[in-house]
Amino acid sequence: MSKQKQQLDTTAVEARDLRIYRLKITIGHTDPAIWRRLEVYAGIEMDSLATAIETSFGWSGEHLGGFTIKGRTIGDDSGWGAHEGQFLDDEFRQLRRLRVKQTDEATKRAEAKRLVELISAKLQAKEAAAEQDDGGVPTLCDLVPRVRTKFTYTYDFGDDWKHLIEVENIAPAEPGVRYPRCTDGARGNPVEDCGGPWGFAELVEAAGNPKHERFADLVEWGLEKWDPAKFSIEQADRKLARIFRLRK
């Protein structure tokens, strides 16, 4: 490759990475919903995106977490290298069921041919992706190239806090703006190690109610004056600025 071509390719990659993704992130099974809106660089690495999400929701980061994106999983338990989750399980399961399915042989052969072709195509796609993998942490735009794509981030596999993420927009960065940043949101931060969304719902009921059986937990955690509805965009954004200034 010529130096000029290499320079053009590098410039194109930098331009792509410097676009801004606007993400709406909602914690599943919370009612009223706890959500945040973040703006991040397209080229943000996935472990850094996890940090941005955890920071905006007030998580300590002491638990493991991971993304699931169209069947691919990437996170703390995979060393932040993307891999296929349950790769080809569905296709092989359908092939096994086809053997005992009550239908004519012509239909079975046609369905078997379709499944074999699908398996072959997926294997070829996986091999091509592996050849392009440089062993680094994938970026957001590597794994999520399109607007309206939806994926999840799970924090604390015990309490199982699922963050439902949607790419609302991809646009050029604004001059002079620091990213990542929090631009909107609703409801206060969830409580860590409380039993997940269902345990959290009990704490919301207990807030301000000394007679509730879980009010003692709030007192123990220093949350007797906790307001589950209170959220400050400015405070969340300041925490992001501090964390990412330290990470540079």
- DSSP-derived pairing of the beta strands 65-69 and 150-155: antiparallel
Q: 245 versus 39: which is more confidently predicted?
A: 39
Of 34, 52, 72, 75, nearest to 203 by C-alpha is 34
Q: Cα–Cα distances in Å, from 43 out to 12, 69, 173, 202?
A: 12, 16, 12, 39
Per-residue pLDDT tens over the stretch 207-230:
999 999 999 999 999 999 999 999
Do 31 and 52 lie in one domain? The reply is: yes
Shared domain for 160 and 179, answered yes or no, is yes
Is 3 a domain residue?
Answer: no
In this predicted structure, the answer to whether residue 3 has a pLDDT above a threshold of 90 is: no
Specify whether 98 is located in the same domain as 206.
Answer: no
Q: Is the domain of 93 the same as that of 199?
A: no
43 and 100: one domain?
A: no
pLDDT of residue 109: 81
226 and 238 both lie in a single domain: no
Task: Identify whether residues 53 and 89 lie together within a single domain.
Answer: no
* pLDDT tens readout for residues 99-156: 656 677 788 788 888 877 777 776 666 566 555 555 688 999 999 999 999 999 999 9
Amino acid 101: pLDDT: 67
Mean pLDDT of the chain: 84
Question: What is the total count of domains within the chain?
Answer: 3
Are 207 and 219 in a shared domain?
Answer: yes
Residues 106 and 78 in one domain: no
pLDDT in tens, 150-190: 999 999 988 999 999 999 999 999 999 999 999 999 999 99
pLDDT over 70 (residue 7): no
80: left (phi over 0), alpha (psi -120 to 50) or beta: left
Residue 109 and residue 37 in one domain = no
Query: Is residue 7 in some structural domain?
Result: no
pLDDT for position 119: 72
Considering the entire predicted model, what is its pTM? 0.75
Span 87-107, pLDDT tens digits: 555 666 666 676 656 677 788
Asked if residue 6 is part of any domain, the answer here is no
Say whether both 110 and 220 belong to one domain: no
Residue ranges in the chain assigned as alpha helix (H):
3-17, 46-56, 89-100, 105-132, 140-143, 196-206, 215-220, 233-247
Cβ 239 vs Cβ 55: under 8 Å: yes
pLDDT value at residue 2: 38
What is the per-residue pLDDT across 36-83, written as a single tens digit (0 to 9) for each?
A: 999 999 999 999 999 999 999 999 999 999 999 988 889 987 777 655
User: Both 58 and 145 in a single domain?
Assistant: yes
Output the pLDDT for position 110. 82
Q: What is the dihedral of CA 142, 79, 247, 38, to 10 degrees?
A: 50
- Domain span at residue 195 reads 190-230
